[in-house]
Structure 1
Amino acid sequence: MTADAIDLDAWRKLPAAQQPDWPDRAVLDEVVAELSTLPPLVFAGECDQLKERLAAAARGEAFVLQGGDCAETFAGATADAVRNKLKTLLQMAIVLTYAGSVPVVKIGRWAGQFAKPRSKPVEVRDGVELPAYRGDMVNGFEFTAEARTPDPRRLLRAYHSSAVTLNLCRAFTKGGYADLRQVHAWNQDFVAESPAGQRYERLAKEIDKAIQFMHACGADSPEFHTVELYSSHEALILEYDRALTRIDSRTGLPYDVSAHMVWIGERTRQLDGAHVEFFSRIRNPIGVKLGPTTTPEDALALIERLNPHNEPGRLTFITRMGASRIRDVLPTLVEKVASSGANVLWVCDPMHGNTFEAPSGHKTRRVDDIFDEVAGFFEVHRSLGTHPGGIHIEFTGDDVTECIGGGDPIDLSDLSLRYETACDPRLNRSQSLDLAFRVAELYRSA
């Protein structure tokens, strides 16, 4: 199909869930027009390369590690903040690669994750009702009428903040920071004295010996010095992602060049909705979040709409069932999809199904529940002879106290110490390393 035959605006005729109530359409149109002229944040060829990597993961030849902030903030587009998130992803990938003996596809949940769906359109505090915070791309976190009014100009700031983040990631990964000889340097902060940090340090010493051996043998692979890193976000605000869709000069096909991979959330995956329609037109690798109410018929219908040609690496199902539901709900989904012959990569999001409110009012998650959902994910795939293809998590590189438990445990009473998320609770780096070691053990025994 040629680009001329693809209607990239067909989604506008369909119901679009979770979209802001923009107060001034003229300002939105001006912003969208400007976004449409800006350079791509990623390139179509990079998207195709990621698609190949995801196809390998679906075949059981690799494992996907996708993670980052719940909701990025503009204030977080700094060198220190980006480096800390990258450091977390790199350390987790090292654990999975070395301890799990598997190549790892590294995808950051950043450089575009500035918008969040909300269960309620408004928030009430002390009798005052204001629009809910929908992420920095839409409105401000402060509880004032001015901050909470959706502002289309924030879409431009999201683009520029994404560009800053991607440039920093490229500088770090290509400029020596991602060199395997830096494995010890990544651990020289609050994590170092934690049980996970100490276990990581022992692993880093083994890696040092392996690198020294390879060097002595005359082998010095370029892969030791740089890494492949891809970006992703939930393509929630359709005006933004449509404005950043370009026609690839090589193929004449449309790509959403705001990220290498984009996904549809659990709240916006309606088959007759605008998000599924838009995603059906772009050529990026795409994901769909599937919650515990998903039926096999839902999954098969999404496959038909989003990957009708059964292209390997094109479609990823990201399950978010909750620890108490995954062993009951997931088997039928995986079994029906597998028996259909569909090329689908299965990835586990063990975060979103395990959120609860602490007595203090903080949203939080138990690390043990996160571990248990991942274990259930592996158990289901092991029992069916299918491949557990990856994990999708929310983490930060900072020493936050947002999720309870872990090897260096955080208690309910600790939540208020450093609860810094703009939306949902994230694993800190020590907890993320705990998870990486657990997943590596599960993978090796699968």
Structure 2
Amino acid sequence: MHWSNIVDLLLGQVLSFKSNPFEHPFEEAARHIFKGAIVIENGKIAAVGDAADLLKTHPTARVTDYGERLLTAGFVDAHVHYPQTAIIASWGKRLIDWLNTYTFPEETRFFDAEYAQEISNRYLDLVLANGTTTVASYCTIHPESVNAIFTAAAERDMRIVAGKTCMDRNAPDGLRDTVQSAYDDSKALLEKWHGVGRAGYAITPRFSPTSTPEQLQALGALWAEYPDVLMQTHLSEQVDEIEWVKSLSPDARDYLDTYESCGLLGKGGLYGHAIYLTDREKDRLKEVDASLIHCPTSNTFIGSGLFDMAGLMADGHRIGLATDTGGGSNFSMLRTMAAAYEVGQLRGTPLHAAQLYWLATQGAARALHLDDKIGNISVGMEADIIALNMSSTPAIAQRTQHAEDIWEALFATIMMGDDRAIDATWVGGKLLC
């Protein structure tokens, strides 16, 4: 990336995190500067502090004044299916029926590189408008779908994680690969894209019901060859799905064992949903420091269940937040935070605004092992920044006016906000929307 000599100085309220608000009091975990500023240079955050001080020390910087808008890290969405963009919010099916009725027919279209590029561009524009600056996406079995999303992300200089979805059973014609082609295509795509610009590859078996043990073993072998890449899949999303796994793998100790026995359990593993975990599964996931990805809008929309955020976080699990587009019913991480709050309420463990916002930024970045690069406002981080309008609608504005602190104000936007709350999205130090 070629950078000019321009230094940008953004003015507004600034919110950053010093530690995990699940582990420390939120007053200590977060830093809020009411009249703050962020200096951006060469695509990274060069300074953070009081506006008056940074205006003095950077007199030639190009200033953008966001007034009382809240400047935060861009949202990180740790589990999505970008090929499901066109079928988001499809009516009322359980997981298996939903896949067969909506998902699989749509995904068969992605052999067409032109269609894959169209949806890739549409999806990334939608999430950027919602303040999301990094996603971890499943593609389809078609290499064209992988090339399309990486190309679209590179054109926007977005940090992205993605991978070819692999399935060699229990899927329709046109959506099955083979043991060998899954390995060969994944390896070729990994070598083409991983580490190029802001791209990271994730080895991607959809879930064990749609991959034979032989395919899972081949992908496990690939992961052993490239241990620095991530691996993403689904785990224990619905009760009937777990029963299906038992019928397909009667000798497995549990659902996780169908991955573990094939070399697909490790620190770089991203396990979506993880609602109905056994004690053994919890222990093994914690032992290897795997990532659990909470998808609350999807879990309620498809009727899956209630993720145990409080219990798993208290046990020290690495946890991120995600929309799970298009099983999730919204592209917005604000709506996803609201759903996570509601799920917590149903479990008797409501989440504080600081915890919700941390999950959608630094927590999700940590789940993707990218928290040294994105997900926070601090010196040296990549400049993925949003300007959040906490008075974006009359209903939110009247609530914000009566808020006693930043958390009350922010909570109103979390619960009622949408893309109208995103006044600006900066990606890699450039204003994109």
Q: TM-score, normalization: structure 2?
A: 0.39
- Greater share of residues in strand: 2
Q: TM-score, normalization: structure 1?
A: 0.38
Question: Greater RCO between the two (CA within 8 Å, min separation 6)?
Answer: 1
